[in-house]
Amino acid sequence: MNLTDLDLRLLRVFLAVVEARGISNAQAILGRDASTISKQISQLETRLGFRLCERGRSGFTLTEEGASIHRRAQELFAATRRFEQDARALSNQLSGPIRIAMIDNLITDPGCPLVATLERFSRREHNQVELFLDITAPARIEQAVLDQQADLGIGIFLHELQELDYLPLYREQDLLYASSSHPAASLSGERQKTALHESRKVVRDFLEQSDLVPLDIATATANAWVGNVEAAAMLILAGGHVGFLPAHYARHWVEQGQLVAIVPERYQRTSQIKAVTRQNKRRPRPPLQALLDDLREACASRDSCK
């Protein structure tokens, strides 16, 4: 016998009758009259080829075959429920790899929501995701997302590509720094401005020299180009260059007296940190969607997304 949807419905009727200890008692449970229930039991017996129960004025009793079918039907529907539960769990389960590419030295920024995001994500139930994090340059981040080498990118992107979706996360503040031994660190006023004009300047190439704009020097030019914050910090600490660094990143050397923020109320800039993903008309696969949801919630909880 090949089970059909009809057979399953009839078996459910049979189970309800057995549980209620008779057709009359099962009427309220099934919402059907006794005649209809009796016909359905007879239909099931015809499908099976044997009698399931004795029913009539003498009462309701299972036949030997009926008792056996009852046990097996219970096992069948228990297995069905387990299957449904497992299927729901699998649909909610987060599995597979997620590859994240990001710029360097975000971890010391109190406004950065990434640690809180990963903490939320790690607490999710049925989480079997494998995380791969890579620190790289902003231009490489966008290319990695385009080439499907990364699922999510975090960085500073001055020009948004049509093929990608960008989500503003928070703003990172940059201040102008010089080594404590640099002439500009101990001067003020016009003498300091002259010293800055004459100083060698380091810029991060992915900012396209926008970090020269706050200097308010029409002829300001760069003398060194770097691809990340750490390289810029090395040149500034060495005393030969001045340049902008994220304030959170430079704080350590400022507290040790190695770096000086030059007129911070005047020489400052901000960078918009964004998340980038591939454009997709369909909803992202569950693990990535869950991570993006956690990223938005982490931003919202600290009111840093803007």
Determine the pLDDT at residue 85: 62
Owner of token pair 């046990």: 71
Going by C-beta distance under 8 Å and a sequence separation of 6 or more, which residues neighbour residue 274?
154, 155, 156, 157, 166, 167, 168, 169
Evaluate whether 44 touches 14 at the Cβ level (below 8 Å): yes
Kindly state the helix (H) or strand (E) to which residue 278 belongs, with its residue range: strand 268-278
- The residues pairing with 195 across neighbouring beta strands, listed in sequence order, are none
Q: Cα separation of 199 and 20, whole Å?
A: 92
**What's the pTM value of the predicted model, to 2 decimals?**
0.67
Going by C-beta distance under 8 Å and a sequence separation of 6 or more, which residues neighbour residue 206?
137, 138, 139, 156, 158, 227
Determine the pLDDT at residue 133: 95
> Distance of alpha carbon 1 from its chain centroid, rounded?
48
Going by C-beta distance under 8 Å and a sequence separation of 6 or more, which residues neighbour residue 297?
120
Determine the pLDDT at residue 56: 77
Evaluate whether 204 touches 139 at the Cβ level (below 8 Å): no
> For strand 200-204 and strand 224-226, is the pairing parallel, antiparallel, or unpaired?
parallel
- Eight-class DSSP state of 228: S
What burial class does residue 121 get, using C-beta atoms within 10 Å of its C-beta: 0-12 exposed, 13-18 middle, 19+ buried?
buried
Evaluate whether 86 touches 54 at the Cβ level (below 8 Å): no
Extended beta strands in 136-234, E state: 152-156, 164-179, 200-204, 224-226
Average pLDDT per block of 10 residues along the chain, 306 residues long = 81 92 89 91 92 85 92 90 69 82 93 94 88 89 91 93 93 95 90 89 88 74 90 95 96 96 93 92 82 92 62
Evaluate whether 223 touches 246 at the Cβ level (below 8 Å): no
Going by C-beta distance under 8 Å and a sequence separation of 6 or more, which residues neighbour residue 132?
97, 98, 99, 100
Q: Cα separation of 55 and 216, whole Å?
A: 98
Determine the pLDDT at residue 294: 94
Q: Cα separation of 191 and 128, whole Å?
A: 60
Determine the pLDDT at residue 237: 97
